[in-house]
């Protein structure tokens, strides 16, 4: 496939085209992903997450600049869950990252879910794979919050930065378990706001009290990304974590989880499409939904009907014996 | 089923037991949900969402008190995505809501995802249904953030409150599309922090510029929940929105979406379990995952194999002709 060949040589336009095809769920999706798959697994993948208002985008901007100075090609995937509401990607991040607009060693892409169900994590994984295969040395994935989707996205990345700001201190307690599990590096950003020592103390207490279930001990780095403060220190910690990660069994575990989730997502999509194509006449998916809404049947009974339509494994096997 | 009969009479212990069974995915899940389904659809379901640190729990606490004064039975579902990391529910909310610990007209439940994939929204819907069928007049669902999961949870509720605090002003622009789509009422909480007028002005500008796609115009209410300020006003707006909602086509649309999502989730779970049970010998799900990780096959090809195992509708139909 010509597109894949060009993409593998790092052609930026082919990267963009491939991503668009994948996002739209175009016919060639399967062929593209199949073609690039053997060439993936080389990029360092960094996740940047945290509540909104913590300055993740400007932090990423500075990280990207630092990586560019090391002559690394950088891909950025802005996963913007809010776009799932509007159906379109928000341009904000791209505008804020305008420093890099004219740099061909950097590639920025915003993701939108376009109403797919559970599709965001998978689509993000596919886009990371495309950038990876196209020879980007580092791929940075930006997500908002700590919802279920983000958990799945965390499984796609090697190093997760959790970005906090002064003033979030009180809430750290509540989020303890979640933060501890995903954070490789805590970034306290906007330290120019002052009063960041409280957040740091609380994080330190939390880390001191945590059970040691991992060989990696999460680090805390203070930054004021807008002024470029703390970025070198952050780069250093990211490097250290990458060294650790690549030689740990966490790498293998994450790969397994990612593969399992992806396989299941793809399967679910495919079965649903097949059902939509197959059902016709009196009982369509729409008519089932209408009957559920009217409380004529419950959703579990509706699924009994649907599995009766597809899941006749037993019968099928008996018949072929 | 005895459990269902007791539950429908409002027996609190049966409600708790039913929820536990459903959360654990116990054998009786199907029977319980089937039994209660015809009795659902009566409760007013209110969603409370927003970033962490905005004081959602104490706001809910005050709303619950106000509803109790009207002699309404209140169910609270705290959907805590962070718990999906640790496998356990966080007690924080329950502790903060201790005012209601001894009140039998109130029932509080924290949700944890326990590692299920895409299961949080469905499990939440099931728990809301249980409370609804058990005669709770109002069910309040608390979620964090605006991820994909929250979008699905929003589909479960009738009235969505988006809680903000002073200081989030700058970020409202970024979140415009998402917020506008889900919010029925904006709550600016913690107005005692001062400087809340900026957030309000930005929300007002946003609302003024928004296209009118709905008959309901989102309202803005200022509160200082800790001091009980603004709660009456908020109750009034919630009442107005409920009146609107019940007579609008949004009600029907949400019911349809909810039913469709739920049907699809249940189907996906069931097929996956069936596959796990069915595959054996050389090629199990585990061995497929291992081959994907080693890049011997790509996930799409793995799914081809799996669909070959289940999705033989065509063949089956031909054979029965």
Residue range A255-280, pLDDT digits in tens? 888 888 888 878 887 788 777 777 76
Task: For residues A142 and A76, state if they share a domain.
Answer: yes
Task: For residues B204 and B145, state if they share a domain.
Answer: yes
Element (H, E) at B160: strand B159-164
User: What is residue B167's DSSP assignment?
Assistant: T
Q: Beta partners for A76? A: A108, A140
Question: Which residues numbered 191-250 in B keep a CB inside 8 Å of some CB on A?
Answer: none
Closest CA to B275 of B316, B313, B306, B298: B306
Q: Between residues A123 and B18, which one has the greater pLDDT?
A: B18
Domain assignment present for B25:
no
Contact B118/A at CB under 8 A: yes
DSSP letters for A46-90: EEEE--TTS-HHHHHHHHHHHHHHTT--EEEEEE-TTHHHHSS--
Q: Is the pLDDT of residue B178 over 70?
A: no
Contact A299/B at CB under 8 A: yes
Task: For residues B202 and B288, state if they share a domain.
Answer: no
Task: For residues B198 and B140, state if they share a domain.
Answer: yes
Q: Which of B220, B250, B280 is the last residue of a domain?
A: B250
pLDDT for B80: 53
Strand B138-142 with B44-49, pairing? parallel
- Mean pLDDT, rounded, for B76-85: 58
Mutate which of A147, A268, A279 to disrupt the B interface (most B C-beta within 10 Å)? Answer: A147
Q: Which of B199, B223, B250 is the last residue of a domain?
A: B250
pLDDT for B95: 42
pLDDT for A284: 84
User: Inter-chain contact A267–B272, Cβ cutoff 8 Å?
Assistant: yes
B38-66 tens-digit pLDDT: 899 999 999 998 776 788 888 998 999 89
- Mean pLDDT, rounded, for B162-173: 69
Domain assignment present for B17:
no
Q: Between residues A92 and A16, which one has the greater pLDDT?
A: A16
Cβ burial of A216 (10 Å; 0-12, 13-18, 19+) is: middle
Q: Is the pLDDT of residue A249 over 60?
A: yes
Q: Give the list of residues 6+ apart from residue A88 with CB closer than 8 angstroms, or none.
A: A112, B177
B41, B145, B300: residue with CB nearest A30 = B300
A81, A175, A313: residue with CB nearest B148 = A81
Which of chain B's residues have a Cβ under 8 Å away from the Cβ of A299?
A: 33, 37, 259, 262-263, 266
Q: Between residues A258 and A118, which one has the greater pLDDT?
A: A258
User: Inter-chain contact B117–A177, Cβ cutoff 8 Å?
Assistant: no
Cα–Cα distance, A18 to A21 (Å, whole number): 5
- Mean pLDDT, rounded, for A8-29: 88
Length of chain B (residues) = 321
What backbone torsions phi and psi does residue A53 show, to the nearest 5 degrees?
Answer: 90, 5
Question: And the tokens for B241?
Answer: 């929105």
Q: Which of B232, B250, B268 is the last residue of a domain?
A: B250
Question: And the tokens for B239?
Answer: 């009442």
Q: Give the list of residues 6+ apart from residue B39 with CB closer than 8 angstroms, or none.
A: B8, B132, B133
Q: Is the pLDDT of residue B115 over 70?
A: no
What backbone torsions phi and psi does residue B76 show, to the nearest 5 degrees?
Answer: -125, 125
- Mean pLDDT, rounded, for A25-49: 89
What is the CATH number for A183?
3.40.50.300
Domain assignment present for A83:
yes
Closest CA to A243 of A41, A44, A40: A44
Cα–Cα distance, A309 to B8 (Å, whole number): 33
- How far B31 CA lies from chain A's nearest CA (Å)? 9
- Mean pLDDT, rounded, for A12-26: 87
- Mean pLDDT, rounded, for A215-229: 93
Which of chain B's residues have a Cβ under 8 Å away from the Cβ of A145?
A: 51, 81, 144-147
Instruction: Work out the pLDDT band at A166, boundaries 50, 70, 90.
Output: confident
Average pLDDT along chain B: 79
Element (H, E) at B199: helix B197-209
User: Inter-chain contact B51–A145, Cβ cutoff 8 Å?
Assistant: yes
Q: Is the pLDDT of residue A85 over 60?
A: no
Task: For residues A234 and A265, state if they share a domain.
Answer: no
Cα–Cα distance, A16 to B90 (Å, whole number): 42
With vertex at residue A64, the alpha carbon angle to CA A61 and CA A65, rounded to the nearest 5 degrees, is: 90
Instruction: Work out the pLDDT band at B314, boundaries 50, 70, 90.
Output: very low
Domain assignment present for B215:
yes
Task: For residues B222 and B276, state if they share a domain.
Answer: no
Q: Is the pLDDT of residue B25 over 70?
A: yes
Contact B63/A at CB under 8 A: no
Max mean pLDDT range (A42-56, B85-99, B204-218): A42-56
User: Inter-chain contact A270–B40, Cβ cutoff 8 Å?
Assistant: no
Task: For residues A267 and A154, state if they share a domain.
Answer: no
| Residue with token string 């029907």 | B252
- How far B240 CA lies from chain A's nearest CA (Å)? 24
Q: Is the pLDDT of residue B83 over 50?
A: no
Task: For residues A127 and A269, state if they share a domain.
Answer: no
Number of domains within chain B: 2
Q: Between residues B271 and B133, which one has the greater pLDDT?
A: B133
- Mean pLDDT, rounded, for A111-124: 61
Cα–Cα distance, A123 to A110 (Å, whole number): 11
Q: Is the pLDDT of residue A154 over 90?
A: no
Domain assignment present for B34:
no
A81, A90, A311: residue with CB nearest B146 = A81
Q: Is the pLDDT of residue B87 over 80?
A: no
> Quick one: closest CA in B to A39, which residue?
B295
Domain assignment present for A241:
yes
Mark out the alpha helices in chain A (DSSP H runs). Answer: 2-8, 12-23, 29-36, 56-69, 83-86, 92-96, 119-133, 148-154, 169-182, 197-209, 231-246, 249-278, 285-293, 299-310, 313-320
User: Inter-chain contact A52–B171, Cβ cutoff 8 Å?
Assistant: yes
- Mean pLDDT, rounded, for A277-292: 82
B52, B262, B310: residue with CB nearest A313 = B310
Which of chain B's residues have a Cβ under 8 Å away from the Cβ of A146?
A: 81-82, 144-145
User: Inter-chain contact A307–B34, Cβ cutoff 8 Å?
Assistant: no
Task: For residues B201 and B306, state if they share a domain.
Answer: no
Q: Is the pLDDT of residue A315 over 80?
A: no
Task: For residues B236 and B194, state if they share a domain.
Answer: yes
A33, A272, A307: residue with CB nearest B300 = A33
Q: Is the pLDDT of residue B9 over 80?
A: yes
B34, B82, B120: residue with CB nearest A300 = B34
pLDDT for B119: 61
- Mean pLDDT, rounded, for B72-97: 53
Instruction: Work out the pLDDT band at A199, boundaries 50, 70, 90.
Output: confident
User: Inter-chain contact A88–B146, Cβ cutoff 8 Å?
Assistant: no
Closest CA to A251 of A178, A186, A177, A157: A157
Supply the pTM of this predicted model: 0.69
* Percent of chain A scoring above 70 in pLDDT: 76
Domain assignment present for A20:
no
Q: Is the pLDDT of residue A224 over 90?
A: yes
For B271, the domain range is 260-320
B40, B263, B315: residue with CB nearest A302 = B263
Domain assignment present for B24:
no
Cα–Cα distance, A20 to A12 (Å, whole number): 12
Contact B310/A at CB under 8 A: yes
Mutate which of B147, B304, B313 to disrupt the A interface (most A C-beta within 10 Å)? Answer: B147
CA separation (Å) from A106 to A62, B35, B74? 13, 56, 52
A251-256 contact pairs (CB < 8 A, 24+): A251/A158, A252/B293, A254/A155, A254/A156, A254/A158, A255/B293, A256/B289, A256/B290, A256/B293
Q: Is the pLDDT of residue B98 over 70?
A: no
């Amino acid at each position: 496939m010509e597109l894949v060949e060009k993409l593998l040589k790092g052609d930026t336009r082919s990267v963009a085209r491939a991503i668009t095809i994948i996002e739209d769920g175009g016919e060639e999706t399967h062929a593209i992903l199949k073609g690039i798959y053997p060439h993936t697994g080389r990029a360092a993948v960094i996740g940047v997450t945290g509540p909104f208002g913590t300055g993740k985008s400007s932090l990423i901007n500075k990280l990207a600049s630092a990586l560019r100075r090391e002559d690394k090609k950088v891909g950025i995937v802005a996963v913007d869950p809010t776009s799932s509401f509007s159906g379109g990607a928000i341009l904000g991040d791209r505008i804020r990252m305008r420093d890099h607009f004219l740099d061909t060693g950097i590639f920025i892409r915003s993701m939108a879910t376009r109403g797919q169900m559970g599709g965001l994590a998978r689509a993000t994984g596919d886009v990371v794979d495309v950038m990876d295969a196209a020879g980007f040395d580092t791929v940075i994935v930006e997500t908002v919050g700590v919802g279920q989707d983000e958990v799945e996205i965390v499984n796609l990345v090697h190093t997760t930065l959790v970005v906090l700001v002064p003033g979030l201190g009180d809430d750290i307690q509540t989020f303890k378990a979640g933060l501890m599990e995903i954070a490789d590096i805590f970034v306290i950003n906007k330290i120019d706001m002052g009063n960041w020592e409280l957040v740091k103390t609380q994080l330190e207490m939390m880390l001191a009290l945590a059970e040691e279930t991992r060989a990696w001990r999460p680090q805390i780095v203070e930054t004021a990304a807008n002024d470029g403060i703390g970025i070198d220190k952050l780069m250093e910690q990211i490097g250290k974590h990458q060294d650790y990660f690549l030689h740990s069994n966490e790498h293998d575990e994450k790969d397994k989880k990612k593969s399992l989730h992806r396989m299941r997502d793809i399967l679910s999509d495919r079965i649903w499409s097949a059902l939509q194509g197959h059902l016709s006449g009196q009982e369509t998916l729409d008519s089932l939904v209408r009957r559920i809404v009217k409380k004529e049947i419950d959703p579990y009974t509706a699924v009994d009907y649907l599995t009766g339509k597809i899941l006749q494994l037993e019968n099928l096997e008996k018949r072929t014996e």
